[in-house]
Amino acid sequence: MELRGATALVTGGSEGIGKAIAAALKREGAEVIITGRDQEKLETAAAELDVGLIQGDVASEDDVVRTVEEFVDRLGRIDILVNNAGFGIFAPLVEMELEQLEAVYRTNVFGAFLMAREAARHFIRQGSGNLINISSTSGLKGGQGSTAYSSSKFALRGMTECWRDELRRHNVRVMLVNPSEVLTSFAATAGFEQKASAKKLLPEEIADAIVGALEIHDRGFIPEFAVFATNPF
């Protein structure tokens, strides 16, 4: 697709991978709006990137409906939705609380569903669109202590496959991106230490891969891909 002049909504766009994606799309000439829960962080990021913002929580159906409606009211249409908002809680099975599992699912699964549903209604009417779901290599292989996070990404992968099959007939491209470890604030937010290394992935690598996937002619698309560091060890 031609990114210049395209309209893009990026959830979780105030930091990390979401912010890098918003910056990359902006550089390519897209009209970008970022969304997230923290108004102050959104304002700081939007000013830095010179993009628009809409405050909202993807876990709230009312917020999601309002966000997509406001986006389309402002920009006239929605060409790209990047479902990036997500977080993790990590604990052994015997220590995991139901409330923790539900909290992760509200954002990573239900939030992604709500955003996709509202955007898809516009995609279908337009006869075109691009839905990009940011998952994780944790959604390909589970691991110790990752009951909530990995299973939420497995769920996102399953939903993506359903949406891809459903929306292709409307000329909508649905893609799943599985980053491996990326140097962001994700680990600190989840409560564990991430060792910095110049060998590990940066958010910009994920953003560059997404731009490349989007720029493929609309007659084709990459359904799913992973991004690994070459030699992080």
- Which residues are tagged catalytic? 136, 149, 153
- The distance between the two most distant Cα atoms of the chain, rounded to a whole number of Å, is 50
Long-range contacts of residues 148-153, Cβ cutoff 8 Å, at least 24 apart = 148/88, 148/89, 148/90, 148/91, 148/96, 148/100, 148/101, 148/104, 148/105, 149/88, 149/89, 149/90, 149/104, 149/108, 149/190, 152/86, 152/104, 152/105, 152/108, 152/109, 153/108
Residue 68's CB: how many other CB atoms inside 10 A? Answer: 24
Long-range contacts of residues 58-67, Cβ cutoff 8 Å, at least 24 apart = 58/11, 58/12, 58/85, 58/107, 58/111, 58/112, 58/114, 58/115, 59/106, 59/107, 59/110, 59/111, 61/114, 64/111, 64/114, 64/115, 64/118, 65/114, 65/118, 67/9, 67/35, 67/115, 67/118
